[in-house]
Amino acid sequence: MMRSLSGNRTGCWVFAGAALLVALWAGTGRAGAQAAPPSGDVATEVAAAVSKDPDRAVRIVVDAVAGHTPEQAAAIVDAAMRALSPAHRKALAPSLVAAAIRALPTADRLPQAPACACAAIRAVPPLEQREVIPPVAVTAASVVPEARAKIVECALAAAPDLARVINAAMAAAVAPLPQVDADATTGSTLPDGSVGRDSLVPMRCASPPCPG
C-alpha cells in the first residue's frame, strides 16, 4: 500500500513538471509571435541623423516616412524640425514638410497632411515663426489643397499674432495671376498697339551683307 502511494506521488510530480515545461514553451512561442524586437525610436533616429547631416534632412525624412506607418509621419517631421538649426529650419522647413506628405501613400496624404504641417509649425521657436510658419502652411496646403482649412487653423492657433501675415500668404498663393497686356511690354503709345507689335518684327537689312 505504501509503495503504491509513493509511486502515485512520483507520477504526479513527473506529470506536473512536464505540464509546466509545456506551458513555459508555449508561452515563449506566443511572446515571440506577438511582436518582433523593437528597432528603436524612429523619432530619435531621425533627430540624430538630421543633427549629423542637416543638409540631407529632406531625404532623411522622406526615407523615414516611407519606411514607417503613416501615423508616424508627424512625429518624424517634428523630430527633424527640432533637430535643425535656425538657418536650416528657415531654408528647409517648407520643402521638408512637402516631401514628408508626398512620401505618404496617396490614400493617407489627406488625413495625415494636417498632422505633418502642424508638427512642423509647432516645432518652430517663437522668434522664428514669422519667417517659417507662413511658407510652411502655404507649401503644405499646395500639396494637399483639401487640407487647407485644417492647416490654416493650426497655423493660426500656433501663432495668433501672425494671423494677418498667414492669411495674406495663403490668399496670395491661390490668387490668379494678373493679366498683362502684351502691348504694355513694347512701349507702344498707339491705341491699337501697332508700334509695339511692329517693334517685335526684325528690321530688314538695307545694304547686304547683313548680320545673321
DSSP structural state of residue 88? H
Q: Is 103 helix (H, G, I), strand (E, B) or coil?
A: helix
Low-confidence stretches of the chain (pLDDT < 50) are 1-7, 10, 12-40, 182-203, 212
Give the span between the Cα atoms of 19 and 211, in whole angstroms.
103
**Nearest alpha-carbon partner for 74 in 82, 22, 9, 29:** 82
Q: Which long-range contacts (CB under 8 A, 24 or more apart) does 36-39 make?
A: none
Q: pLDDT tens digits for 105-154?
A: 999 999 999 999 999 999 999 999 999 999 999 999 999 999 999 999 99
Instruction: Give the pLDDT of residue 174.
Output: 83
Q: pTM of the full predicted structure?
A: 0.67
Instruction: Give the pLDDT of residue 175.
Output: 76
Instruction: Give the pLDDT of residue 157.
Output: 97
**Nearest alpha-carbon partner for 99 in 111, 110, 113, 89:** 113
Give the span between the Cα atoms of 113 and 115, in whole angstroms.
5
C-beta of residue 87 within 8 angstroms of C-beta of residue 124: no
C-alpha cell at 67: 519606411
